[in-house]
Structure 1
Amino acid sequence: MPAFSAGILFQTFIFLLLFALMMMEADAQQYEEERADMVDNQIAQRGIKSRHVLSAMKKVPRHMFVPSNLASMAYSDRPLPIGYDQTISQPFIVAFMSEALDVKEGDKILEIGTGSGYQAAILAEMGLEVWTIEIVPELAEMAKKNLKETGYIEVNVKCGNGFKGWPRQAPFDAIILTAAPKDIPQTLVDQLKTGGTMILPVGPVYSVQKLIKVTKKEKGIKQKTLLPVRFVPMIKSYL
């Protein structure tokens, strides 16, 4: 190949590489602006006050936790499908549940229903020690990949039955469920520290459910209904 042709090919390659980097930087800037707008206009204006939650929501790239063909909708206040009949919750609900946990940095938290890993990333960004269980094997692997690619490698993910919890790691300061059982699972209450909180949707499948805050007492639990919600059902097995 003549020297001048090789030189032209090299210059073309460098140009294309620089162009691709510029486009990636522009996309990153756009997503950052959309994320800030999401927090300021969809979340903070609706009453979320925790600076830890708001800061985490501004930092975690939600578009990295949804299918690539839905990335343009990542910062709209709506749930999105992630495959296997599961969804990623709308940003406001993620923020609301995270704030309702009443946790502090360093607390140990169990999440039931990892999904694509977004809620786990928010909790990790808040400075929590996160242990999370996903029953769908493909989603558990997806979550591990997403969390690794976004830098949240300290999150502990396993595939398993969320109704059983993670007894070897109990007790937990808080527990959060992103799928709805019909009743409050006693096994999870047992794995909660006294004084700890659990946030979960409870109710019938594919109908209006109640988002409940459970506080564990020395004897029994205290319940408080927070919001009407709709979540996918919590299942005991996946085939």
Structure 2
Amino acid sequence: MEPEGAVVDGEKAERMGFILGLRQRGLRDVAVLRALELVPRPLFVDPALRRHAYDDVALPIACGQTMSQPSLVAAMTEALGVTADHTVLEVGTGSGYQAAVLGHLAARVVTVDRYRSLVAEAQTRFEVLGLKNVTAYVGDGMLGMPARAPFDRIMVTASAPDIPMALVDQLKLGGVIVMPVGAPDEPQSLVRYVKEQAGRTRTEFMKARFVPLVPGAAATL
């Protein structure tokens, strides 16, 4: 068995290499890099897949869901443009990794998922990390979280043919939504939507593939 110090040093070296890799892929936002550095990705990964925790690959999680590859998490976070005074809604908690990253950038993060087991596990991870500004709820992501609205930023980590109007309605003026838009059986476009007084700005910034956004909370799991 390796000494505990060696394990810690090894994880630190992995994390440093991970951040260097993201920089080499074009991520330049210092605040986002720091947030990613502060979140120990192995905590969010199935122990059987621990060796892949810092690889730039998507990983399976419970309930048939996936954990996005780190470069995609970084790109979406950068596009969202979160600052320390923002309240953020995340739709699609999954493992909780993306919400934890957002928790190091925002004043408050509200995350919602249709699977009770995922929400419970994610909330435990937030507590382990001392992220008191991140709270997970079970609910219908398509409806957002009207009781906690309005939001400065909304991130959706599941795809839909278009941005749900309920989410647009819960976004403050000047607010931003980042989500994948497109058919579930095709690569989707990641869209950055800005809600403005005179209308809206909608920009596609990369292709990706996500699980579909499904209405309702799951009856089981």
TM-score by length of 1: 0.87
Q: Is the 8 A contact 1:35 1:57 kept in 2?
A: no
Which structure's relative contact order is higher, taking Cα pairs within 8 Å and 6+ residues apart? 2
Aligned residues: 218
RMSD (Å), alpha carbons: 1.4
1:106-185 equivalent positions in 2, closer than 5 A: 106-185=85-164
Residue identity (%)? 39
The amino acid of 1:31's aligned partner reads E
After superposition, the C-alpha distances for 1:171-197 in whole angstroms (9 at most, x for unaligned) are 111000111112111110010011111
Residues 29 and 206 (structure 1), Cα distance of their counterparts in 2 relative to 1, 3 Å cut: farther
Q: Distance in 1 between matches of 2:3 and 2:181?
A: 44
For 2:74, which of 78, 83, 95 is the aligned residue? 95
- The unaligned stretches of length 5 or more in structure 1 are 1-18
Which structure has the larger Rg? 1
How far residue 167 of structure 1 moved from its aligned partner, in angstroms, is: 0.9
1:206 aligns with 2:185: yes
Q: Structure 2: where are the runs of 5+ without partners?
A: none
Report 1:49-64 matches (<5 A): 49-64=28-43
Superposition map of 1:15-54 within 5 A: 23-41=3-21, 43-54=22-33
Q: Equivalent residue for 2:166?
A: 187
Contact kept in structure 1, 2:91 and 2:113, CA below 8 Å: yes
8 Å contact from structure 1 (residues 206, 233) kept in 2: no
Distance in 1 between the 2:5 and 2:38 partners? Answer: 16
Higher share of residues assigned helix: 1
- Superposed structure 1 runs of 4+ greater than 4 Å apart: none
